């Protein structure tokens, strides 16, 4: 089973991101489950959602503790994300320009820039969940046409178009920073 | 049949739409809210031909659906936690009135302190109101159980509560399939009550009775509830024949072959328990999963018949019976086995209250602790 946990802030569309990822994966024949976690917090507070993908029906009915992929909607969620636990061999997918100071394999995507470029801006805020979704599909090796189909089903043509363009750009530009080694004086 | 990927609450709302409910009254409460939001939007958009009555409280929601049911409408309401507790008085009315109401209860802990997350205290504390109580653990099971609930309620004339766990199932999206209207109609004929209130027919309903009329009425409810189990089983088989879908009978059993330890639970925990059973089997322990789907009427004889000689029953309760050892399932299991299977060992714990998370690793650890007690 592949487990992905997404960390963001209330209002960023984290739950939608999880749903769209699961729907895309199902199109490739996988079983999927999303499990958002809602605190008692509100807009702006840290939120998270798990996505599980497998070849057989998913029986898990508990929170995500050891995801193989940790998704951070912004780099300042690193501490929160790590505190909730990740698998030893986990990779991080993050909305940033430069690698994070952590000894994990990282996939970097400039989701905010992509969102602004494709005019995914609402109420003055760039909406980065679809670019993050594009990057995540690339990391998971899901073919882009599958994601494109999901986005076409999600929205009307007018609304889907900039989202598909943003997802495509993120899919094509997300890059792997490899083992970003950090000096670790504790050994 | 449409393949859908959506939440447990969406599965519930779709089933309510698909069975052709006439009347809905509800008051929103976390984590039930999106069920009634979706139903309200189906009605507003003309996808569902029903009357939606927004009310100011759960007491009024229950009262309104009871009244609508008494005039012959097919009705639905949904709630959680404090909302269910606030309905308590009307739950007795509904069962005593033999009204075939179907209600979804999205299980959530009760106050105080305030808590939004799952446990089964809400449902368990309404056990003795005379309702049938079913528990589902996946979105497909919710969809199918809501349809089944109408069939059973209308046949035995007893209200049915369909329970599923808050957030872990209600807000978790999973794939499920709906059913074509023609198949639903084949399974569930239009509601044709034996009697109903009607201004032209006169008569009264729920009037004051002397003991000699009251007593047989109450005994009839408990006797009919006991017999409702057989009706549920027959309807489940009919539904399976029609759809090929089967989630279990009174129980969903998992790996019972040669099992010594039966891990007995209810709700979403019972699905995660299958992973725990696999882990225990890998450790060389002959464990099986036993997920209860029909909480009331509790399948006493079936539980006693199901367990092999020398079996040890480990009970996992997501509720407390205050002042007693263990929870409701432990008490019911012991009562079921007393005088039937006195030689079997039974032990149990309460856990997972207020959304305390229960990954398989925790279930395995708790099972091993209980195995020590059973040695």
Domain ranges in chain B? Answer: 3-243, 251-374
Fold of B3-243: Rossmann fold (3.40.50)
DSSP state of A30: -
Rounded Cα distance between B58 and B367, Å, is: 38
B123 pLDDT band, cuts 50/70/90, is very high
Nearest-Cα distance to chain A for B265, in Å, is 13
Domain spans of chain A, in order of start: 2-178
In a mutational test of the A interface, the residue from B6, B169, B173 whose CB has the highest number of chain A CBs within 10 Å is: B173
- ipTM for the predicted complex comes to 0.95
Nearest-Cα distance to chain B for A5, in Å, is 14
The residue written with tokens 């005019």 in the block is A119
Rounded Cα distance between B120 and A35, Å, is: 20
Region label for A119, one of left (φ > 0), alpha (ψ between -120 and 50) or beta (otherwise): left
Query: Could you read off the pLDDT tens digit of each residue along chain A, which spans 187 residues?
Result: 999 999 999 889 999 999 999 999 999 999 999 999 987 656 678 899 999 999 999 999 999 999 999 999 999 999 999 999 999 999 999 999 999 999 999 999 999 999 999 999 999 999 999 999 999 999 999 999 999 999 999 999 999 999 999 999 999 999 998 654 444 333 3
In a mutational test of the B interface, the residue from A59, A64, A154 whose CB has the highest number of chain B CBs within 10 Å is: A59
- Contact yes or no for A61 and B169 at CB 8 A: yes
Provide the b/e sequence for A126-153 (b: ≥16 CB within 10 Å).
bbbbbbbbbbbbbbbebebeebbebbee
In a mutational test of the A interface, the residue from B119, B139, B174 whose CB has the highest number of chain A CBs within 10 Å is: B174
Q: Do the domains B251-374 and B3-243 match in fold? A: yes
* Partner-chain residue, chosen from A26, A34, A65, that has the shortest CB–CB distance to B172: A34
DSSP state of B228: H
Q: Which two tokens stand for residue B309?
A: 């000689």
Residues of chain B with C-beta less than 8 angstroms from the C-beta of A18:
173
Chain B residue closest in CA terms to A58: B174
Fold of B251-374: Rossmann fold (3.40.50)
Asked: is A2-178 a CATH 3.40.920.10 domain? The reply is yes
């Amino acid at each position: 089973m592949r487990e992905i946990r997404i960390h963001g802030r209330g209002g960023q569309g984290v739950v939608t991101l999880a749903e769209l990822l699961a729907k895309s994966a199902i199109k490739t024949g996988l079983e999927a489950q999303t499990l958002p976690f809602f605190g008692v917090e509100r807009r702006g507070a840290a939120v998270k959602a798990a996505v599980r993908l497998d070849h057989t029906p998913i029986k898990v009915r508990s929170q995500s503790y050891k995801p193989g992929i940790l998704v951070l909607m912004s780099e300042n969620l690193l501490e929160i994300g790590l505190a909730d636990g990740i698998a030893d061999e986990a990779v991080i997918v993050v909305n940033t320009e430069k690698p994070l100071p952590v000894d994990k394999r990282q996939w970097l995507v400039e989701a905010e820039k992509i969102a602004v470029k494709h005019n995914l801006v609402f109420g003055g805020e760039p909406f980065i969940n679809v670019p993050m979704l594009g990057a995540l599909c690339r990391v998971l090796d899901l073919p882009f046409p599958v994601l494109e189909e999901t986005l076409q089903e999600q929205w009307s043509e007018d609304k889907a178009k900039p989202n598909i363009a943003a997802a495509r750009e993120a899919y094509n530009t997300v890059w792997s920073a490899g083992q970003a080694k950090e000096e670790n004086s504790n050994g | 049949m449409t393949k859908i990927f959506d939440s447990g609450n969406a599965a519930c709302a779709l089933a309510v739409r698909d069975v052709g409910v006439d009347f809905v009254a509800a008051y929103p409460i976390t984590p039930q809210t999106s069920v009634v939001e979706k139903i309200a939007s189906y009605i507003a958009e003309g996808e569902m031909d029903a009357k939606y009555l927004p009310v100011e409280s759960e007491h009024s929601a229950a009262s309104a659906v009871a009244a609508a049911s008494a005039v012959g409408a097919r009705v639905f309401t949904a709630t959680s936690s404090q909302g269910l507790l606030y309905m308590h008085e009307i739950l007795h009315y509904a069962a005593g009135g033999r009204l075939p109401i179907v209600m979804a209860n999205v299980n959530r802990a009760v106050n105080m302190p305030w808590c939004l997350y799952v446990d089964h205290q809400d449902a368990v504390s309404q056990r003795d109101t005379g309702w049938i109580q079913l528990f589902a653990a996946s979105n497909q099971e919710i969809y199918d159980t809501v349809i089944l609930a109408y069939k059973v309620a209308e046949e035995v004339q007893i209200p049915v509560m369909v329970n599923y766990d808050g957030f872990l199932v209600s807000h978790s999206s999973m794939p499920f399939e709906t059913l074509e209207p023609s198949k639903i109609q084949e399974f569930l004929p239009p509601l044709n009550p034996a009697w109903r209130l009607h201004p032209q027919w006169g008569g009264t309903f729920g009037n004051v009775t002397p003991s000699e009329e009251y007593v047989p009425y109450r005994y009839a409810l408990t006797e009919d509830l006991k017999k409702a189990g057989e009706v549920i089983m027959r309807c489940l088989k009919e539904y399976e024949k029609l759809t090929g879908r089967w989630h279990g009978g009174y129980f969903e059993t998992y790996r019972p072959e040669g099992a010594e330890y039966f891990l007995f639970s209810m709700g979403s925990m019972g699905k995660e328990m299958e992973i725990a059973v696999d882990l225990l089997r890998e450790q060389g322990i002959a464990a099986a999963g036993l997920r209860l789907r029909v909480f009331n009427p509790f399948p006493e004889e079936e539980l006693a018949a199901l367990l092999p000689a020398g079996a040890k029953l480990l009970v996992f309760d997501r509720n407390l019976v205050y002042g007693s050892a263990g929870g409701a399932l432990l008490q019911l299991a012991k009562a079921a086995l007393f005088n039937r299977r006195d030689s079997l060992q039974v032990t149990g714990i309460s856990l997972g209250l207020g959304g305390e998370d229960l990954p398989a690793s925790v279930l395995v650890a708790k099972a091993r602790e209980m195995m020590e007690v059973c040695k």
